[in-house]
Amino acid sequence: MRQAYLERFLRYIAVDTQSDEASATVPSTPGQTGLAQSLRDELVAMGLERVKCDDNGYVSAILPANVEHPVPAIGFIAHMDTAPDASGAGVNPQIIENYNGESITLNRELDLHLSPIEFSKLNNAIGKTLITTDGTTLLGADNKAGIAAIMTAIEYLQQHPDIAHGDICLGFTPDEEIGRGADHFDVEGFGAQWAYTVDGGEEGELECESFNAANATVTVHGRNVHPGTAKNVMVNASHIARRFANELPADDVPEKTEGHEGFFHLHHMAGDETTATLQYLIRDHDGERFNQRKELMLNIADSMNSLLGELRVVVEIKDRYANMHEEIIKVPHVMNIARQALHNCGVTPIEKPIRGGTDGARLSFMGLPTPNIFTGGHNFHGIYEYLVVESALKSVEVIAEIARLTAIQDEK
């Protein structure tokens, strides 16, 4: 199993599948199409049924049940794209066997190191095998570790026909990192009654809560003239944008929050005297607080426009997804099976809210309850990303055990 997993993971991360929010195509980048077609061919070679790669780059397949009694069809889903935050081209993975707990040199020339002082989770990986970057790209564990785990688990079930299971539906999606992963997902055609995204981090993560999420664009319209004659004439859009940002709570930012705490995340800004823009992520697990955050941004704009005497600050807010807990709580057996699977595999469940997004957050409101399970990856979206191989293999075991428990429980 270990060799099969590693071969897959290293092959998948060699394909540049970084998504692009500025693109209007689906998938947003050609590399995702290439990986989708490769996965389709691999699934066909494995002998799965109803293998499909549709025009939008969504890959699906079914491993048929090997029992005669009725068993609910379940699904496992992972996304193919990597985040726009760091390059996914030319990934050069480094494999560290029997990690000794010391700082890992990622790139000597760039003086980049992966240190347990800065990344304390490394202390839990002493004696294990790590896969890191070379400090110039992300690794791609988010979420090719999930794809490799699902594919390896399916292969394992094929090799062990004594393990009972119902129909297992597989789905690999494009553009999750830019919020579009569920846009063209065919829930009815997928065929599962519930599913699990394999898109979490450290070993044991099991998540059925997500943020309520929105994106906000703040556009400031100024008026520019020569600075030498600017008094009482110039309206500097960049200064106004700075004042807007300062009106938001200073501690409600990702770097100062955790757990169920929400935030405003300023992730992009640009501007000059004429026009300035601020791009925000608005996140909160609590629905009421989430709406209050959106209202605050609109109120700040109204107040500033009133002081300016004209409409110069425009806030556009677009909701992205809601807290999937609202839907998953209606089907408690979905989480109970996953909890039992983790325990049976010797993994202590770490149940906590997702401080990010998964396809499951949207799919749960599309009629497919979809909590999230771990992959063994850490430090996603950047050059310090790494994968703990032993944890990744535990995710393979958990997937197979969820399939087995579903079949056994239904038989009882």
| Positions marked catalytic | 81, 176
Question: Do 258 and 265 meet the contact criterion of CB atoms below 8 Å apart?
Answer: no
Q: What is the SS3 assignment for 275?
A: strand
Cis link prior to 143 (omega < 30° from 0)?
Answer: yes
- Percentages helix, strand, coil for the chain (3-state, rounded to 5) are 35, 25, 40
The tokens of 238 are what? Answer: 């960049």
- 220, β-bridge pairs: 276, 313
- Say which amino acid occupies 330: K
Find all residues with CB under 8 Å of 348, minimum gap 6, and list them: 204, 342
Find all residues with CB under 8 Å of 152, minimum gap 6, and list them: 1, 4, 5, 8, 396
Rounded Cα distance, 396 and 382, in Å: 24
The tokens of 134 are what? Answer: 């070379």
- 104, β-bridge pairs: 114
Backbone torsions φ then ψ of 171, nearest 5 degrees: -140, 130
Backbone torsions φ then ψ of 318, nearest 5 degrees: -125, 120
Question: Do 82 and 18 meet the contact criterion of CB atoms below 8 Å apart?
Answer: yes
Q: Can you say whether the dihedral through the CA atoms of 21, 23, 26, 32 is positive or negative?
A: negative
Closest by Cα among 212, 150, 215, 256 to 357: 212
Closest by Cα among 87, 63, 67 to 75: 63
Rounded Cα distance, 358 and 387, in Å: 19
What does each C-alpha distance from 310 to 238, 307, 315 come to in angstroms? 16, 8, 14
Rounded Cα distance, 68 and 66, in Å: 7
Find all residues with CB under 8 Å of 144, minimum gap 6, and list them: 9, 12, 13, 17, 78, 80, 82
Find all residues with CB under 8 Å of 288, minimum gap 6, and list them: none
